[in-house]
Every structure is written in C-alpha cells, then in structure tokens.
Amino acid sequence: MAGITSAGVGSGLPLEDIINATLNAEDQPKLKRFEATKTRLNVELSALGAVKSSLSALQDIMKKLADPDNFSKRIASIRQPTSGDLISVATTDKSTTGSFNIEVTQLAQGSRAMSNAAFTAPTDVVNATAGKLTLKAGTKDFSVDIAAGATLEDIRNAINSSETNFGITANIINTGGATPTSKLVITSNVTGAGNDVIIENDNADLDAVSTVAFGGGAGGMTIAAADMAKDAIAKVDGVTVTSSSNKFSNTIQDLSFTALKVGDAGEKARIDVSYDTAGVEKLMEEFIKAYNNALGTIDYHTKVGAGLYGDSTMRGLKTQLTNSLQQVVTGAGPFETIFDVGLGLKKDGTLEKSSLVRSMSEALTDNYADFGKLFSSTDGFAQNISNLLEKNLDAKGSFTFRTDNINLSLRDLEVEREKHDYRMSQMEVRLRAQYSSLDSLIAQMQSSGMYLQSQLGSLPGFVKSK
C-alpha cells in the first residue's frame, strides 16, 4: 500500500517489532564479538607498549654501562682554608688519583700604563695632525685612527669603541685640587710576565699618549713596577710553579686548577683526586631498578587474565633476560659475573645489592678498572644485554612486528564492522520490502472482507451473527 511508512500500520500486525527483533538477532551477537575483539587487541597493544617502555628504560641504562667513559671519570674534592676558597679544580679521565697541597702566593695580572703629560682637562687637544695608535699586549694587537685635533676624551673613546679591541680599557683620572690634571690610563687584561701593554704611534703628536715615542725611546706613558703584567705563582706540594694566567693547566699532569686568591702565609688548599665510584654506584642502582621493573612489567602483563597471558614471546624474553645475568666475562681481573661485584638475586628473580661475595663499594675501591671492564668491555655484561634488547626493540624487532600486526588487525576489524553495518542496512531494506508487501496484502484482504461483509449485510434475509 502506497503511503505506509511503518510496517504493520496497514494490517495492524506488529511487523515493526518483528523486523527489529530479526535485525537485533542478527546484529547484536556480531557487535559483541567486534567489541570483544577490539578490547582484546587494545589490551594486548597496551600491554606490549608497557613492556616495551620498561625494556627501553633498561636499554638506556645498559648503553651507559656499556660506555667505558662512564668508568673512567675522576672527581676532585677540595679542602679549602678557613679564610676562603684559594682554588677551583677540573679533572680529566686521565687524572692520577692522589692528594696535592696547593699554596697561592701571587695572582696573575694584566698591566696598566699612565700618562705623565700635564693635561688639565679631558677636553685638552692632544694632537694637531691625524695619526694612528697601535696597542699591543702579548701576541695580540689592534690599531685606532686618531683624527686631527682629538682630545684626551676622544682618544679614550676611540680605544674603547674599537671593534678589534682584544681587552684594552682606556680611562681618564682627574686629580682635582688647585691645579687639576687629567691622566689617561690604559689597562690590559692580558696577564703574564712580559706581556705589558705597548702603545706605539706613527705621529710624534701622539707621543704623550704612547709608551714608545715615534722617534724611538720612551713615550709619555709609563708602567709602574706594581702595574706590570705578572704570572700567577703557586706551590704544589712545596714546588713553586708559575702560569701566565690564573689557570694552571697540566701543572699537575692531566689536572688543572685555577688560583682564586692569594692565601695568607702558609695557607694551603688540599686537592683529593679519586675515581668517581659514587657515580658508578648510582648507575648500578639505576640498573637494578630498571631490570626489576622490566621483569615486573612482563610478569604483570602475562598473568592470568592479562593482555599477554600465555604469550610465548614474553616468556622467552624473560628467560633470556634472567639467563643473561649468568654471563661469564673474561679479562676483568677477579670479576667474572655481576655477582662478583656486589649484586645478588632475590627468591623472586629480581636483583638486589648483596655483600655475599663482596660489597659493591669494596669492588669499586679495590678494582675500579676491572669493575668497568666487566660491564663496558666489547664482550662485557652491558653490551650483551644491550644486544639482546636491540634485537627486540629495533625497527625490525619482535615488538615492532607484534605492534604492526595488532594495528593491522584493528584496521581489518573496522573494515569488517563497516561491511557488517552495510549488510545490516541491506538486510533491513530487504525485510522492510518483504513485510511491506505482506502488510499491503493483509490490508487489502481485510478491506475486501469488510466490503463483502457490508454487501452481504444489505441482502434481504441476511442476519449478522452476534
């Protein structure tokens, strides 16, 4: 029947309910299977991500333990005198362990030259004709052009603003008083004996602001004995040493220290250089934590009801990790396994610090170099674990393969669900067409029956039953 929009409207039968029940009977079980599969895949994907993350953290630590540089670091502690800090110190991985007493008797300084000419004010004209000043100290130099009629102030500004200035500062000191004078002061930051500032010119008009006159001989600026450039002087275990700067490099082989101030008479600072055992112990504690976390994460996600329950790959990986702890390393002196250097196993298979053979502190103190070889040598423990983790975590490893497969299954599942939705929509169209025909047929039969009944009722002698 044209115009019927809901099944059963024409016939009065519950055809809409029949259609919905038929559709639900076909649709709901499959939807539940889709959701269950999606949930299972997502749980598995999440579990793989958690395990991979814990293994990546372990891999980061193993890379540090496989690096020999982390077992060659030295640290220096300084015992300063009560008057304050005399020195600072820097070590290298080649610094020899030991103790050194340092005295600082003189700090390095730059030089200072002062004009002797009787300038009465900063605005006094110095030169009538143009010229050039060249300033030198040590191996460095730069030049400035001085215009004709330049004042003392102009010369100061020209020196200070030069782009090639290497560390020269010009100042003017005004004496004041009844007969005031102004003096040009040139200060160099180049330290070291023999590195006094030298100021030359190409114009005799500028002799008053030079240390060397144009025609040779002394200029109008001089350097007092106390203002000459000086070396730093110190004593290392009573041996006098010098440096052109306050930094003493390789005075103690492969170690440098910087003089900060001159000590009072007899004052000493003590440097104690030792292996960075604390840094290695910290790395070992990070290793224990990362290893135990990796095993715990695998156990958590493979227990009954978890996303990776019964997963053979995870069981195999855990077995490989625990077996790797038994690795025997050669060439590490008295150490063959990690259990020789203060590590032990708990009953649950996790690692802990242990003093059963020797403590970690004892192993580091007695055999620091061999401790490092146990972990960082080419065939060492850390490299072995790193190789195992690399095989599983790299771009072609098992985790990438598993993750890609799960993501592919999720995409396939979405495709299947879209196909199912399409089939259900087609099924609904088909059912509605079938039931619409039935609805129209029944409605027509009902209409015909009512018509016949009406016609019969109009016949003479017809009695309608009650």
**Dist. CA 97–CA 198, nearest whole Å:** 43
- Closest to 301 in 3D by CA, of 311, 288, 316: 311
- Closest to 3 in 3D by CA, of 439, 385, 312, 331: 439
Block residue for tokens 């095989």: 391
**Dist. CA 311–CA 308, nearest whole Å:** 5
How many other CB atoms are found less than 10 A from the CB of residue 367? Answer: 19
**Dist. CA 464–CA 214, nearest whole Å:** 150
Residue 41, pLDDT score: 86
For residue 74, which amino acid is it? R
| Torsion angle, alpha carbons of 258, 262, 266, 271, to 10 | -20
Domain residues of the chain, as ranges?
1-73+276-445, 74-108+231-275, 112-227
Contacts of 416 (CB under 8 A, 6+ apart): 34
User: Which residues partner with 140 through β-bridges?
Assistant: 137
Contacts of 25 (CB under 8 A, 6+ apart): none
- Closest to 54 in 3D by CA, of 321, 285, 294: 294
pLDDT digits (tens, 9 = 90+) for 191-222: 999 999 999 999 999 999 999 999 899 999 99
Question: Most distant CA pair in the chain: distance in Å?
Answer: 162
pLDDT digits (tens, 9 = 90+) for 354-383: 888 889 999 998 899 999 999 999 999 999
| DSSP at 93 | T
How many other CB atoms are found less than 10 A from the CB of residue 281? Answer: 15
Q: What is the pTM of this model?
A: 0.66
pLDDT digits (tens, 9 = 90+) for 279-289: 999 999 999 99
Would you place residue 3 in the very low, low, confident or very high pLDDT band (cuts 50, 70, 90)? very low
Per-state percent for the chain, helix, strand, coil, to nearest 5:
45, 20, 35
Would you place residue 20 in the very low, low, confident or very high pLDDT band (cuts 50, 70, 90)? confident
Contact between residue 248 and residue 86 where contact means Cβ atoms under 8 Å apart: no
Residue 1, pLDDT score: 37
**Dist. CA 109–CA 107, nearest whole Å:** 6
Strands (DSSP E) along 223-262, which ranges? 232-236, 239-243, 247-252, 255-259
pLDDT at 2 over 80: no
Query: Phi, psi at residue 129, to the nearest 5°?
Result: -120, 155
Residue 6, pLDDT score: 66
pLDDT digits (tens, 9 = 90+) for 237-281: 999 999 999 999 989 999 999 999 999 988 999 999 999 999 999
| DSSP at 263 | P
How many other CB atoms are found less than 10 A from the CB of residue 70? Answer: 19
pLDDT digits (tens, 9 = 90+) for 309-345: 888 888 999 999 999 999 999 999 999 999 999 999 9
Q: What strands, in cross-sheet order, belong to the sheet with 247-252?
A: 87-91, 255-259, 247-252
pLDDT digits (tens, 9 = 90+) for 106-148: 999 999 999 998 899 999 999 999 999 999 999 999 999 999 9
pLDDT at 421 over 70: yes
Cα dist from 60 to 65, 281, 331, 342, whole Å? 9, 16, 25, 22
pLDDT at 349 over 80: yes
- Closest to 51 in 3D by CA, of 322, 288, 393: 393
pLDDT at 177 over 90: no
**Dist. CA 137–CA 227, nearest whole Å:** 14
Average pLDDT on 79-88 reads 94
Would you place residue 12 in the very low, low, confident or very high pLDDT band (cuts 50, 70, 90)? low
Residue 237, pLDDT score: 96
Find the length of the chain. Answer: 466
Structure tokens at 301: 């996600």
**Dist. CA 457–CA 465, nearest whole Å:** 10
pLDDT at 461 over 80: no
| DSSP at 95 | P
Which helix (H) or strand (E) element contains residue 295?
Answer: helix 277-302
Residue 295, pLDDT score: 94
CA angle 150, 151, 152 (to 5 degrees): 125
Higher pLDDT, 118 or 160: 160
pLDDT digits (tens, 9 = 90+) for 396-416: 778 888 888 888 988 998 898
pLDDT at 4 over 60: no
Q: What percent of the chain has pLDDT over 70?
A: 92
- Closest to 86 in 3D by CA, of 273, 230, 271, 227: 271
Residue 439, pLDDT score: 65
pLDDT, averaged across the chain = 89
Would you place residue 100 in the very low, low, confident or very high pLDDT band (cuts 50, 70, 90)? very high
